[in-house]
Amino acid sequence: MNTQELLSRYNDQELDFTEVNLHTANLKATNLTRINLTRADLSSADLSNADLSGACLQQANLTNAELNHANLVGANLIEVNLIGADLVGADLRSVDLSGADLRCANLHKANLSGANLTDVDLSGADLSGANLTDTKLAGTDISVADTTGAKLKKACLHQGERKQIATSHHWITWSGK
């Protein structure tokens, strides 16, 4: 399926595009609210400034995708592949990213407040200036993520877990106690 066909069918009220192949698609600044892109291939796609609020992207491949300033509020991103994705300034409030892979993703100044980041791999991710207020981080690997200037107020880890976050040249360790 090409981009024009997807947009035409979406504009005709079709929402289910499960397993569609949109590798390298240009969907910049498009409105795709509530769309179902479960297991879709959106690798290297440009979704900058797109409105994907309430969308289902469960198990989708967004490797190296451009999602700068995208609106993903309330989206289902369970087990999504966002390795190397660019999410600078993206609005990810209240998203479910449980089990997602965000290794080396750029989340600089992204808003992840209220998000579920349970069992997410954020190794090598850039979370500098990100808003992680009220996020669930249980089982999440943030051991080498850059969190310089990130807001971590009320971020929740399970009792007894220990995590470390790189903040510039310092380490913060939470014991959960």
Residue 156 DSSP label:
B
Higher pLDDT, 170 or 134: 134
Phi, psi of 78 (to 5 degrees): -60, 130
- Please count the residues of the chain: 177
pLDDT score of 176 more than 50: no
pLDDT score of 177 more than 60: no
Question: pLDDT for 82-105, tens place per residue?
Answer: 999 999 999 999 999 999 999 999
For the domain made up of 1-177, the CATH class stated in words is mainly beta
Average pLDDT (14-32) is: 98
Q: Which pLDDT score is estimated for 157?
A: 59
Q: Which pLDDT score is estimated for 173?
A: 36
Average pLDDT (128-132) is: 94
Average pLDDT (32-52) is: 98
Residue spans per domain, the chain: 1-177
Residue 7 DSSP label:
H
Q: Which pLDDT score is estimated for 46?
A: 98
Selection from 40, 110, 101, 103 nearest residue 68 by Cα: 110
pLDDT, averaged across the chain: 88
